Structure 1
Amino acid sequence: MAALLVVAAIVAVTLLTLTSSGGGSGGFADPDSPSRQGSRALAQVLRDQGVDVEVVRTIRDFEAAGVGPTTTVLMGSFDFLGEAAADRASRHASKAARLVLLEPSAFALSDFGVRLAPSDGGRVDLAADCGSDLIDRDDRLDARVTFYQSTDTSADGTPQLPAGAAGCFPGHNADAAVVVLPSTNVQPETVVLGSADALTNARVGEASHAAIGLRALGSTARLVWYLPDISDLDVPDGSGNLRPSDRGIPEWFGPATLLLGLAFIAFALARGRRLGRIVTEPLPVVVRAVETTEARGRLYRRAGDRERAASSLRAGTVQRLAARLGLPSATADEVVAAVARTANREASQIRALLDGPTPTNDRDLVLLAEQLAHLEENVRHA
């Protein structure tokens, strides 16, 4: 039982961990969250600047929001973006003026056709070292970042961004924390912003984070901020076929579940009751049920206590007669009257028998016992 409780607790914690980073306010870089990790401050400033900020949390709501040439799309989370939802989101976002991918994973980059590879950069303090409409050369980034490197290479094997692209806030290698890709026939201008930390309420006021966020998200009249929730792991694709995804489940979840199952089986085998064939054990001595009564009678006889013996005989008779006549809580007089009616005898005779004088010798005591037994026999057959 204890093992079952432990397994249930671990599963509950795992599910809570899985769902806590999904939809609903309170998640990382969530525009509705006022916590230190939320992004309500940036969203409110954008609204104050006249930008219509619309937050959507499912692929259905994202498609229903409508995206056009005056709309910027921000993809703010990829933990629960399944393959089918990603395909639909990519097609819908292609109609926007600008697509901003906030710290995308390798899966997300592939889903949106961006030829970049991510790598963890940790906490950094970087200068922009580039020039574009989105980033000023004097901008600074002081936050936790993910760097991105082009998967395309030049003739000498060096990673090379496509023509017209800009990599800002470079790292040690040919990578950057912010990459701006020009629009193509099938894709709008795409900004890979490698630091969700910079846009949180706790950090947006530091360095040039606020300016970068406002330039990236406030260049159009409308912003659709899409945060996929856990329901987007399992949605139909464009053909209506259901395509479940396991992207939101950590890699360790499967092995951990298997390990817990094996541990539970081992615990059950070690602590479970082992049942074998039934084994009879002979008793050391057999005691007859009547022997206790006989032993008590011999004690009364040895002590010469006829009064206690007669009292016990009468009390037992009254109790059995009352139970047989259905009078478990009746008084002695009520029992006498009921017995007299049932046995068709005088009440005075019954009272003398059940509540008469104490026998003076053993013969009278034996006679009293016989009369009481005869009275019970009469009532039983009446």
Structure 2
Amino acid sequence: MFTIDNIPFGIVSINDNPPTIATIIEGWVYDLRALGEGQLFQNIPGVPAALKSSSLNAFAALGNEATVALKKELREFVSNDTAHQTPCVYSESKITAFHLPFNIPDYTDFYVSKVHATNVGVLFRGKENALQPNWVHLPVGYHGRSSSVVVSGTDFLRPQGQIGNPGSGEPVVAPCKKMDYEVELACFIGKPNEMGQPISVEDAHKHIFGYVIMNDWSARDIQAWEYVPLGPFLGKNFCTSISPWVVTPDALVGAEIELTRDAEDPPLAPYLDGGKQIFDIDFEVVVNDKKVGVCNSKDLYWSFPQMIAHHTIGGCPLSTGDLLGSGTISSTGDSGDALTTVGSLLEATHNGTKPIDGLSFLKDGDVVTISAKSKNGVDMGSCTGAVLPSSN
């Protein structure tokens, strides 16, 4: 349930009408465009015009001050509209479609869970070489495809591509047999930066508009064949799902904790030494109505401010609406014993060699739902998608 302490933002169609900027509070949907055309938000510079858009880009570009001011005014309005008599307030059942909250110019996915990186490294390189030498020095990431980011509820076709064939030494072109989910937290950039102007780790939080749940679907067999030497490509670019409601940072202040580094880890580079706040958020994964895993973002090793500082240290411009993913979130525990601590089936089943309750990788028709809630009670919503048979 999204409460008045949360007030997330999204793009919805109400009663089959065109997309509009909205929020949801206690099961009631508030059409913010309509409210902005009426009596609300008139004294917040730029907000009424930004709310006329069918994406959050213009609103997010105004900065966090505008977001906080809108939420304050809306809370006052809601407290006086207990009967929900305003024409632009609807029951949640009137939502007929969700849309992507942003026009997404670019998408970067990071790899910042030490537990996940270690688990995967052990699987493919052995315990002694689990982490690459650079991993504790910088937030590792790669450039994904914004064109295949979809809103929750969008199903996708099982991808096909080249898959290694140890028997013959030559790859085969076939549908993926090792389809996996990845539990992630992602942020949307609000305030952009100019090319050549890095964002400091101390100021990075000012550039984050909000957070969503993300599932970076992964074709593990395609990925395994292609990832050397430049990293993921077709194993990742076919679909990435995000939750529809964007939760802003002010709602998560009560869930903030400070990241800690292991005693044996090297000192941080000066440009990364700060911005160590991450959130205590519990994630749950359900496959076909069966709970298969939980994890928590407090176990991440790098924070979003550190990711942003590293992303821009060379002068890279981030645009309003850019999406940055955390990479798979895995928590401490023995991933070989249970599905309860890791954010992917790759880890939980040891690359499919140790199925648990008959589950190794995802089958056609499987529906995956990831939900999350912070320790201060803020609901992040859910992210759902289904694997459809390959077109081949």
Task: Calculate the TM-score normalised by the size of structure 2.
Answer: 0.22
Larger radius of gyration: 1
- Please state which structure has a larger fraction of its residues in helix: 1
TM-score, normalization by structure 1: 0.23
Determine which structure has greater relative contact order: mean sequence separation of CA pairs < 8 Å that are 6+ residues apart, divided by chain length: 2
